[in-house]
Amino acid sequence: MASAPAAAPGVVVVFDFDRTIIEWDSDNWVITKLGAADAFRRLRPTMRWNPLMDRMMAELHARGKTAEDIRDCLRSAPLDAHIISAIKTAAALGCDLKVVSDANTFFIETIMAHHGVLGCFSEISTNPAHVDADGRLRISPFHDSAAEPHGCSLCPENMCKGKIIEKIQAMAGTNNHHFIYIGDGMGDYCPSLKLSEGDYVMPKENYPLWKLICSNKQLLKAEVHPWNSGEELEKTLLMLVNKMITPPAQVSSFDCSKCEMSKPASTEVGHHQALPVPH
Ligand SMILES: [Mg+2]
Ligand SMILES: [Zn+2]
């Protein structure tokens, strides 16, 4: 008796944002380009990253920089053509794409919309941001550490990416879903530890996540595939995706106008190591 063909597994691809989707760091970019690096250096020793970014937006506001100036600044930053292509192709192949980042909704949505890939993502988990009545950009923590501390010692108090991955895993269900996690920073280590056998982690070579993974490979159940350029990220991601999806789910005519039009569900996130602002 012929059995029903096995359904193609669902592939969930989770991207970190700073230094993963974009080659640089969005906080760093805005602060430097809009001329607030001096205030950043002065305040950094006294403040945690997330509240510091909110404070930096106040600094910019006080210096007459508008939310639109910040948007323009974000739009002026490059996004590697291979990354754009990797995102669009993975979406076309039927992958469910998500961002988990310690940046903020304003920065991420501005950059991804500008490059026409925002609609390729079903969910963005990052720190919430909004422009207040005075026109100042406000950035809040993803996890409210006072009301509900996440209790993870690996992660900064405003965001545990591992907790977010656990939630995504629970939503995806246990059957026939596989994850690919792509990241570079220390904050990407906790979610990498949550991955199961059959999942993949793609650390940026020579960056903190890669170093942490290499320090004790035994701790990870997921298979590790490092990359060190946009081109290599694209090649590796698509190789893994093609390996996971079985023939029935080949490239369909994917309407990329969707990418520009729709907006993914926005939750909040982010995490940074000590991040020197370049001159
Ligand atoms: Mg990063
Ligand atoms: Zn954590």
User: 38 a known binding residue?
Assistant: no
Place of tokens 């937006």: 57
Which are the contacts of 16, defined by CB distance < 8 A and separation ≥ 6? 99, 100, 101, 161, 182, 183, 184, 185, 187, 188
Q: Which two tokens stand for residue 240?
A: 């893994």
Ligand 2 geometric centre to CA of 18 (Å)? 18
Q: Which CATH superfamily is domain 10-22+80-127+150-266 in?
A: HAD superfamily/HAD-like (3.40.50.1000)
pTM equals 0.86
- 3-class SS letters over the chain: CCCCCCCCCEEEEEECCECCCECCCHHHHHHHHCCCHHHHHHHHHHCCHHHHHHHHHHHHHHCCCCHHHHHHHHHCCCCCHHHHHHHHHHHHCCCEEEEECCCCHHHHHHHHHHCCCHHHEEEEECCCEEECCCCCEEECCCCCCCCCCCCCCCCCCCCCHHHHHHHHHHHHCCCCEEEEEEECCHHHHHHHHCCCCCCEEEEECCCHHHHHHHHCHHHCCCEECCECCHHHHHHHHHHHHHHHCCCCCCCCCCCCHHHHHCCCEECCCCCCCCCCCCC
User: 102 a known binding residue?
Assistant: yes
Higher pLDDT pick, 227 / 278 = 227
Instruction: Encode pLDDT of 47-100 as tens digits.
Output: 999 999 999 999 999 999 999 999 999 999 999 999 999 999 999 999 999 999
Does the pLDDT value for residue 3 go beyond 80? no
Does the pLDDT value for residue 160 go beyond 60? yes
What is the C-alpha separation between 66 and 59, in angstroms, rounded?
11
Instruction: Encode pLDDT of 173-183 as tens digits.
Output: 766 789 999 99
Residue 176's pLDDT is what? 79
User: 18 a known binding residue?
Assistant: yes
Instruction: Report the catalytic residues.
Output: 16, 18
What is the C-alpha separation between 251 and 238, in angstroms, rounded?
12
Ligand closest to Cα of 166 equals: 2
* Mean pLDDT for the stretch of residues 255-266: 52
Ligand 2 geometric centre to CA of 144 (Å)? 14
Ligand 1 geometric centre to CA of 9 (Å)? 27
Instruction: Give the dihedral of Cα atoms 220, 222, 226, 232; nearest 10 deg.
Output: -170
What is the C-alpha separation between 36 and 268, in angstroms, rounded?
25
Ligand closest to Cα of 159 equals: 2
Ligand closest to Cα of 20 equals: 1
Which are the contacts of 20, defined by CB distance < 8 A and separation ≥ 6? 182, 183, 184, 204
Instruction: Encode pLDDT of 4-36 as tens digits.
Output: 444 456 999 999 999 999 999 999 999 999 999
Which are the contacts of 216, defined by CB distance < 8 A and separation ≥ 6? none
